[in-house]
Amino acid sequence: MPRIISANLNGIRSAHKKGFFNWLAKQDADFICVQELKCQLADMTEEFLAPHGYHGHFHYAEKKGYSGTGVYSRTKPDAFKIGFGCTEFDNEGRYTRVDVGDLTVISLYAPSGSSSPERQEAKFRFMEVFLPHLVELQAEGREIVVCGDWNIAHKEIDLKNWKGNLKNSGFLPEERAWMTRIFDELGLVDVHRGIDQRPEQYTWWSNRGQAYAKNVGWRIDYHVATPGIASKAHAVSVYKDERFSDHAPLIIDYKP
């Protein structure tokens, strides 16, 4: 029963202090995709690199204290890849891929456009180059799960205050249409939503106000998968009993 977890850590050192790796030891996961490492290789302790016997592979941003992704796998990967071939975003550490058998698991940290118009333009550039990459991935004929923080809430059900965010990054019409293309044109699957249609299944909450206490959140963390592996998903949960970050881990169990 493969278990795949996606977790934006908002700083691996911070998440460690909040007990993330102690929690991880109890999860019996096969893959853990992490985002926002906010560190360089020199900052990575042995516990960060290979916790509890996992094999870790990481993509660090050139800019210190920024971005970064990684994948922990129970089984040593047959192959791994850092970056997806676009210099602008590979320099930001946004993509880590591992292959185990016929399964590819990718940790993705898509850009946020909320900090400035310039960053929103960067986000649009990312969208333009990443969609063709997803097509290339599909052409490999492997089962694929792209886990991570996509920084887009796809539909109204995916954020609390959707009416107030129609003109805000993360819920712009262009962003939502791009996600729709991934699911409707490319045929990839939003695994979480495929097996849990309930509202208020959020994975991120602003630190402002009492967003977390009031569950005023966004669902921006996903497992986006090829139909074969997606059809094997049978249980999903958003872990909220402890807080390691402003995101909550998304856990999905797949049948063998």
Render pLDDT for 15-70 as a digit per residue (tens, 0 to 9).
999 999 999 999 999 999 999 999 999 999 999 999 999 999 999 999 999 999 99
The pairing of beta strand 233-238 with beta strand 189-190: unpaired
Amino acid 82: pLDDT:
98
Task: Examine the residue annotation and report whether 190 is marked as an active-site residue of this protein.
Answer: no
- Residue 209 has what pLDDT? 87
Per-residue pLDDT for 201 more than 80?
yes
83-128 pLDDT, tens digit each: 999 999 999 999 999 999 999 999 999 999 999 999 999 999 999 9
Report, as an integer, the average pLDDT of 2-8: 97
Specify the CATH number of the domain 3-254: 3.60.10.10
Model confidence band, residue 74 (pLDDT cutoffs 50, 70, 90): very high
Rounded to an integer, the average pLDDT of 200-222 is 96
Chain mean pLDDT for the chain: 97
Q: Is the pLDDT of residue 1 over 80?
A: no
Q: Provide the pLDDT for residue 216.
A: 97
pLDDT at position 88 is 98
| pLDDT confidence of residue 206 | 96
Query: What pLDDT, on a 0 to 100 scale, did the predictor assign at position 116?
Result: 96
pLDDT score, position 72: 98
Options 28, 30, 99, 149, the catalytic residue: 149
Predicted model pTM: 0.98
